Structure 1
C-alpha cells in the first residue's frame, strides 16, 4: 500500500528510536500504542524496509533504522534552527548565533569580536558556551553550534576553519618556585616535577602536541592531574600541586598566584582556529566571518 508520509510519521519514529519501547514512546506522544504501531508500519511500507527489530521483550533499530534516525535527528535539528531564525527575523533581529569556545579564545579575540558584532547588529542574539575542543567539533557537525574556537591539528571533513592566533608555550610554576625567576628555562630542570595538563578530553591532538615537547626533551613526565579548565590548572599550580605547560596567551586575563616562564626556544606551537559548518545557512555566518577578517587585517597592520 502506498502511504503519503507526513512529518508526524517521522516524529513518531524519532521518539520510538529514542525510547526503543512502544508503550513509553506512545506515552510521550500522547497516542495509543496500537496507533503508534500502525504509523511505524506505514513508514516501513513506504521505505520498503524494516526499521525496527521487535520481539516480546526488546525493540532495536535495524541498519536502515539507524540510518534513518541519524537523518531524522538532523532534519528536526534544522527545523528548530529555521523556527529560531524566523522568530528572530519577526522580532527585527538579523539572527542568533551560538558560539563555542575554549578559555584561551577569551584572551585572544572573543571580547573584541563580540563588541564589534553588537555594534553592527545591536539586536543579534549571541549564546556563548565554554566547551572542550571535542565537544565543539561534535556540536558543529550536528549544526548545534554556529562557530567554535578550538585548538586542533586537522579540520574534520564538513567543517571549515581559519587560523586566529598561533601561540608558543609557557611553563606555569608557583610564585614560590625556586626557578620561577629564571630568564632561560631548561625543561630538564623540571623532569622530576609533577605536571598538571589539559586532558585528552580537552583535545586529543593538543594533548599529543604537549607530550611531544617532553619527548623532545628526553623524559616522560609524571602527569599528576588533568583537567579541561585553565583556571583550575592555575589554581592547582598555585597550591603547589605541580607545574603546567599551557599556550602563552593564557597568561592574559587571569589573576592568579603563578609565574609564566616562556618556552619560545622550543619548536612546538599551537594555533587557535575558528571553525564553522560548511553547510550552515545561518545568515549570521558571513557577518561574523567578515568581522573576524577585518580584525585580523587591523592586527597585521599594528
Structure 2
C-alpha cells in the first residue's frame, strides 16, 4: 500500500516533540510556520484524525500522533545509520578531525557531542587543539586544525561555515547586589561596575562589542580563565559578568548568583563551525556538526536555530 508518510514528516514530528511548539519546531526544521502546519494538516486529512491537541502547552500528541512519533523514533536513526554506512563505504572510514575553539564555555556541549561521535566514526582521529585561540580560522588555513568553533562567520577565501546555534547571554550578580533589584540590565548599569570576563580581546566579547562600547561604556575589568572562578568572584561581589544562560543555570538553581536579561531585546550570541572549503563535503564533518546541533538543543537551555545569511 502506498503511504503518504515521508521522512520530512517524521522529522517534523520529532521537532514538535522536542520543542513543544509549532513555531519553534518550524524554526528547528527550517520551515515557515505555515509550511509546517500544512505538513501536519496533510497527514491529519489523510488519516482523518488530529495528531496533537492544538490548545495544549506544551502540545500533547493524540494516540494517532503518538504512533507516528514512535515510527519517527524507530526509523530516522536507521536512516541516519544507513547513510553513515554508505558514506564510509564510498568515502572511506578514516580521517582526521582536530577541533580548535575560541569559546571558553564550548566544552559544556562539545564533550558530549564528541562522546557521541567517536563510536559512530571509530576510524576518524578526533582531538582538540590545546588551548583557546584568538584566530582559530588561521589554524584551519595552516592545516593545524580541521574544524574551528567561532562566533562570527566572516567571509574568507577557502573557508566554509556551518551554523550551529544562537544562545542567550545573561548578566549575573550576587544575590545582594544592587543590580539584583532590576528586572533588565541596560548598558548604563555596567558603567560603575567591575566586569569579570575571560582574558580575551574586546572584539570577542559580545557584551562589549554589541552593547557597551557602542554606547561609550568601558568598565574596569577583572579576568579569569575558568567559568567557576568567574561565578565565585561574582557571588562574592567582586564584580558582575555576562555568560551564556546554559553555563550559569546550575549556579542559579543553587542560589549562588542571580541572572538578568541584558537590554530589553536581550543579548544573543552565535556559534558556527568553520572548515576548509575543500573539506566541507566530507560526511564525517557534516555528521559531527549535526551531532553538535542535536545534542546542544537536547541538553542546553536558551538556544535558537541559527541560519546562514545569504
Name the TM-score, length of structure 2 as normaliser.
0.53
CA distance in 2, matches of 1:209, 1:240: 19
Partner of 1:138: 138
- Quote how far apart the aligned CAs of 1:272 are: 0.9
1:242-257 aligned within 5 A: 242-252=239-249, 257=256
Equivalent residues of 1:197, 1:225 under 8 A apart: yes
Partner of 2:231: 234
Deviations 1:51-101 (CA, angstroms, capped at 9, x unpaired): xxxxxxxxxxxxxxxxxxxxxxxxxxxxxxxxxxxxxxxxx9723321123
CA distance in 1, matches of 2:176, 2:130: 31
Query: Using a 3 Å threshold, how does the CA distance of structure 1 residues 137 and 230 change in structure 2: closer, same or farther?
Result: farther
- Quote how far apart the aligned CAs of 1:209 are: 5.8
Partner of 1:276: 275
Partner of 2:168: 168
Partner of 2:104: 103
Query: Using a 3 Å threshold, how does the CA distance of structure 1 residues 209 and 195 change in structure 2: closer, same or farther?
Result: closer
Structure 1 gaps of 5+ residues are 1-91
Query: Using a 3 Å threshold, how does the CA distance of structure 1 residues 208 and 294 change in structure 2: closer, same or farther?
Result: closer
Structure 2 gaps of 5+ residues are 1-91, 298-303, 306-310
Equivalent residues of 2:140, 2:147 under 8 A apart: yes
Equivalent residues of 2:104, 2:132 under 8 A apart: no
SS at match of 1:148: strand
Deviations 1:247-285 (CA, angstroms, capped at 9, x unpaired): 33432567983332222623643211111122459x9x4
CA distance in 2, matches of 1:263, 1:208: 11
Equivalent residues of 2:110, 2:292 under 8 A apart: no
CA distance in 2, matches of 1:274, 1:132: 15
The count of corresponding residues between Structure 1 and Structure 2 is: 204
Deviations 1:145-199 (CA, angstroms, capped at 9, x unpaired): 1111122352433221112111232112123324336433344344221112344
- Quote how far apart the aligned CAs of 1:104 are: 2.8
CA distance in 2, matches of 1:97, 1:225: 35
SS at match of 1:157: coil
Match of 1:213 among 201, 211, 214: 211
CA distance in 1, matches of 2:234, 2:291: 37
Query: Pairwise CA RMSD of aligned residues?
Result: 3.6
Equivalent residues of 1:103, 1:130 under 8 A apart: no
- Quote how far apart the aligned CAs of 1:110 are: 1.9
- Quote how far apart the aligned CAs of 1:243 are: 0.8
SS at match of 2:222: strand
Equivalent residues of 2:198, 2:224 under 8 A apart: yes
Moved over 6 A (4+): 253-256
CA distance in 1, matches of 2:209, 2:229: 20
Equivalent residues of 1:152, 1:205 under 8 A apart: no
Equivalent residues of 1:167, 1:270 under 8 A apart: yes
Higher Cα Rg: structure 1 or 2?
Answer: 1
Partner of 1:224: 221
- Quote how far apart the aligned CAs of 1:241 are: 2.0
SS at match of 1:170: strand
CA distance in 1, matches of 2:249, 2:163: 19
